[in-house]
Amino acid sequence: MRASVLAFLGVGIAAALVHYLAALGAHALGFTPAWSNNVGFILAFPVSYLGHRQWSFRQSEASHQQALLKFFCVALLGFLGNQALLWCGLQWTPWPFWLVLGLVMGLVAVCTYVLSRFWAFKHG
């Protein structure tokens, strides 16, 4: 399990960097925070799924089709939580977009790991 956690962290950091940098780039181009976050999610999803499938949960017996559908549900749920928390953070604090987004992404990552480990990549 320790290797799985380390792999998850590595893949998660890579996907989070793609998401974060893409969202910051979109925001710098004039996109709203919500749309910037959408861009980041869309670009980071393939990095996340493929990385987790190949490294974090490679021992999974779940089929690619089964794992992809479940992981998409986990990622979408995480993204919706991300969007809600991002909106709240931007509405209720004076903090800048880059800080709120980073904090929210860290919090959501913990939830995503638990759901991925015990549901998305679990056979059955």
pLDDT by residue, tens only, the chain of 124 residues = 577 778 888 998 999 999 999 999 999 999 999 999 999 999 999 999 999 888 877 777 778 888 888 889 888 988 999 999 999 999 999 999 999 999 999 998 888 778 777 887 775 5
Give the pLDDT of residue 67: 83
- Looking at the 3D structure of the chain, how many domains does it have? 1
Distance CA 19, CA 40 (A): 4
For the residues of 30-78, what is the DSSP string, one character each?
T--HHHHHHHHHHHHHHHHHHHIIIIITTT--S-HHHHHHHHHHHHHHH
Q: How many helices (H) and strands (E) does the chain have?
A: 4, 0
Give the pLDDT of residue 104: 95
Give the pLDDT of residue 18: 97
Domain that holds residue 12: 2-120
